[in-house]
């Protein structure tokens, strides 16, 4: 649970005031209640680009544009784990070295001049990613490569690359499955490594990656449903590659309008890139999330907003007895296992198989004679 009490607000001076009407008290109480909208005290971001090679330029640009937004809204580099599987800015084929553009005609350079990449090149592997999430890193790992979150952290996890139904490809040589990811999040939950977690994925068939989640306080967004491809955007002739993917492009445009005091909530985020713009159908999942998405601010995950209000009045706060926003216990095991029943469609036997078996039977009986049937029946 979480506490409420005058000791929690060091800036408030508990003294007698002139105004002591109940209306005034209620007003301050409402303001104070609005103040404690969420239970997180720090923000983290894990941004991963999983593909390498020059023609996957757009995945690096995707990740860097989310990095730029997150940093602009206040999350410092020490709280961002940035994993880029390849170096596009210094690639030999980049006609504009030290830049990664997200808009064609080179309008916006998302590489900037203070990018801090924590995991680079071949260090971006499934094992490293899962170790970062679960915290099981060797003691020699530097602090910049660790996710040092606690149970009051809101974590934003952004993945992009090439994916399929139930998996995401890392580095052209391995893949992470949706089951592994769900289990990693469960480990994080059991170790109380997050308060709330927002998971965004921009790959083909991205919705399959959040199908298997079963831990509480997870909200997920994907750029396309199962069976759909996420499309690329922004073809640039001077550089010779696609610069961004559609979903992240429109996500970046949306985030460019968010500032630290913005009151935009998750419902606005779900509306980013409708089918008319994205061609694929973005999806989201909120059933494991305790709060109503309409009350969740964008800056709860994308920014690191510390609200401090100084007031001269005293506010008496009553202890909060309802458990409306209490943590829920883990779902029972039976429910986890049977969370998504596998549908086995019955297919009638293929014509070819039928024909083959008929042929085999015919040859058998032709060779050995019909009268031997009686030995079988």
Partner 1 sequence: MFQDRMGLLSDPNRRRALTNLLTRLNTPICVLCYLAGVAWFMGLAFEPFTLRTYMSENAMGSTMVEERFPAGERALVTAREFGAHKRKSGAMPVDWLVKTMQSRGLEVYTQSFSRRLPFPDENKERYMVRGTNVYGILRAPRAPRTEALVLSAPCSPDNSNNQAVGLLLGLAQYFRSQIYWAKDIIFLVNEHDLIGMQAWLEAYHHTNITGMDWAPLHGRGGSIQAALSLELSSDVVTSLDLVLEGLNGQLPNLDLANLFYTFCQKQDILCTIQEKLQRSDWDSVSGYSQAVQTMALMVLKQASGRPWGDHGLFLRYHIESATIRGINSFRQYKTDTTTVGRLLEGMFRKLNNLLERLHQSYFFYLLPSLSRFVSIGYYMPAFGFLAVILLLRALDLWVQLGALPSVTEDGVGVTDQSSSPSLVSILTPVVISHLTGAALYTLPVLSQELAVQHFPVSETEAVVLTAIAIYTAGLALPHNTHRFMLAEGTEQGWRVLKLVAVLYLAVLLSCTALINFSLGFILALTLVPVAAFVTPHVPKVLSAVVMVLLAPGCTLLYCVFAFQELQEAPVSLIDGWMLFLSVISQGMLDHALYGSLVYPLLALFIYPCWLILWNILFWK
126-134 and 178-190 are packed helices; what angle lies between their axes, rounded to 10 degrees?
20
Q: Are 71 and 302 in contact (CB under 8 A)?
A: no
Which of residues 65 and 234 has its CB atom nearest to partner 1 in the complex? 234
Which of residues 9 and 49 has its CB atom nearest to partner 1 in the complex? 49
Which of residues 235 and 355 has its CB atom nearest to partner 1 in the complex? 235
Contact between 204 and partner 1 per CB under 8 A: no
Q: What is the 8-class DSSP label of residue 230?
A: P
265: exposed, middle or buried (Cβ count in 10 Å: 0-12, 13-18, 19+): middle
- Contact window for partner 1 (CB under 8 A) among 1-9, 13-21, 334-342, 366-374: 366-374
Q: Are 313 and 17 in contact (CB under 8 A)?
A: yes
166: left (phi over 0), alpha (psi -120 to 50) or beta: left
Which of residues 51 and 280 has its CB atom nearest to partner 1 in the complex? 51
Using CB under 8 A, which of 86, 186, 211, 236 touches partner 1?
236
- Cα(314)–Cα(245) distance, rounded to whole angstroms? 51
Using CB under 8 A, which of 168, 197, 222, 241 touches partner 1?
241
Between strands 119-120 and 196-202, the pairing is unpaired
Contact between 35 and partner 1 per CB under 8 A: no
Contact between 238 and partner 1 per CB under 8 A: yes
CB of 301 to partner 1, least distance (A): 34
Contact between 367 and partner 1 per CB under 8 A: yes
Cα 53 → chain centroid? 24
CB of 167 to partner 1, least distance (A): 19
- Of residues 49, 204, 273, 278, which has the active-site annotation? 204
Which of residues 98 and 179 has its CB atom nearest to partner 1 in the complex? 98
Which of residues 1 and 235 has its CB atom nearest to partner 1 in the complex? 235
DSSP string covering 313-352: S----------TTPPPPPPPHHHHHTSSPPP----PPPHH
Which of residues 2 and 55 has its CB atom nearest to partner 1 in the complex? 55
Q: Is 273 a catalytic residue?
A: no
CB of 367 to partner 1, least distance (A): 7
- Cα(359)–Cα(339) distance, rounded to whole angstroms? 44
Site for partner 1, residues 143 to 162, rule: CB under 8 A: none
Determine phi and psi for 87, rounding to 5 degrees.
-100, 100
CB of 92 to partner 1, least distance (A): 4
Using CB under 8 A, which of 10, 15, 18, 95 touches partner 1?
95
Using CB under 8 A, which of 50, 94, 171, 280 touches partner 1?
94
Q: Is 49 a catalytic residue?
A: no
- Cα(46)–Cα(245) distance, rounded to whole angstroms? 19
Using CB under 8 A, which of 93, 192, 271, 306 touches partner 1?
93
Give percent helix, percent strand, percent coil of the chain, each to the nearest 5. 35, 15, 50
Binding mask 37-66 for partner 1 (x = CB under 8 A): ----------------xxx-----------
Using CB under 8 A, which of 369, 374, 375, 376 touches partner 1?
369
CB of 53 to partner 1, least distance (A): 6
Query: If you search the block for the tokens 């971001």, which residue do you land on?
Result: 45
Helix/strand/coil (H/E/C) assignment for every residue in 119-160:
EEHHHCCHHHHHHHHHCCCCCCCCHHHCCCCCCCEEEEEEEE
Contact between 375 and partner 1 per CB under 8 A: no
Which of residues 307 and 372 has its CB atom nearest to partner 1 in the complex? 372
Size of the site for partner 1 (CB under 8 A): 20
- Cα(268)–Cα(104) distance, rounded to whole angstroms? 26
What are the residues binding partner 1 (CB under 8 A)?
Answer: 53-55, 90-95, 97, 235-238, 240-242, 367-369
Q: What residues are labeled active site?
A: 162, 204
């Amino acid at each position: 649970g979480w506490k409420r009490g005058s000791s929690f607000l060091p800036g408030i001076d508990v003294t007698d005031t002139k105004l002591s009407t109940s209306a005034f008290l209620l007003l301050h109480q409402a303001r104070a209640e609005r103040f404690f909208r969420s239970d997180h005290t720090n923000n983290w971001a894990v941004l991963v680009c999983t593909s390498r090679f020059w023609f996957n330029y757009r995945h690096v640009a995707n990740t860097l544009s989310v990095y730029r937004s997150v940093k602009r809204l206040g999350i410092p580099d020490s709280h961002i784990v940035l994993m880029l599987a390849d170096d596009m800015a210094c690639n030999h084929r980049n006609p504009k070295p030290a830049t990664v553009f997200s808009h064609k005609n080179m309008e916006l350079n998302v590489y900037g001049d203070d990018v801090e990449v924590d995991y680079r090149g071949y260090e971006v592997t499934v094992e490293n990613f899962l170790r970062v999430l679960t915290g099981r890193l060797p003691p020699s790992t530097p602090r910049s490569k660790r996710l040092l979150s606690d149970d009051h952290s809101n974590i934003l996890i952004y993945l992009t690359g090439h994916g399929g139904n139930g998996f995401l490809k890392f580095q052209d040589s391995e893949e992470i499955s949706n089951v592994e990811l769900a289990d990693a999040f469960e480990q994080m939950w059991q170790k109380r490594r997050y308060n709330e977690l927002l998971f965004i994925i921009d790959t083909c068939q991205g919705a399959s990656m959040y199908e298997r989640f079963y831990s509480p306080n997870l909200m997920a967004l994907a750029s396309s449903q199962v069976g759909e491809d996420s499309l690329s955007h922004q073809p640039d002739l001077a550089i010779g590659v696609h610069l961004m993917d559609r979903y992240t492009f429109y996500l970046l445009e949306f985030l460019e309008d968010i500032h630290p005091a913005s009151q935009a909530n998750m419902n606005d985020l779900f509306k980013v890139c409708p089918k008319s713009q994205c061609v694929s159908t973005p999806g989201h999942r909120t059933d494991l999330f305790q709060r109503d998405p309409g009350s969740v601010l964008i800056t709860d995950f994308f920014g690191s907003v510390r609200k401090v209000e100084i007031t001269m009045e005293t506010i008496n706060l009553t202890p909060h007895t309802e458990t409306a926003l209490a943590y829920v216990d883990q779902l029972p095991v039976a429910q986890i296992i049977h969370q998504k029943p596998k549908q086995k469609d019955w297919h009638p036997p293929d014509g070819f198989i039928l024909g083959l078996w008929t042929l085999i039977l015919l040859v058998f009986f032709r060779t050995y004679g019909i009268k031997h049937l009686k030995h079988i029946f």
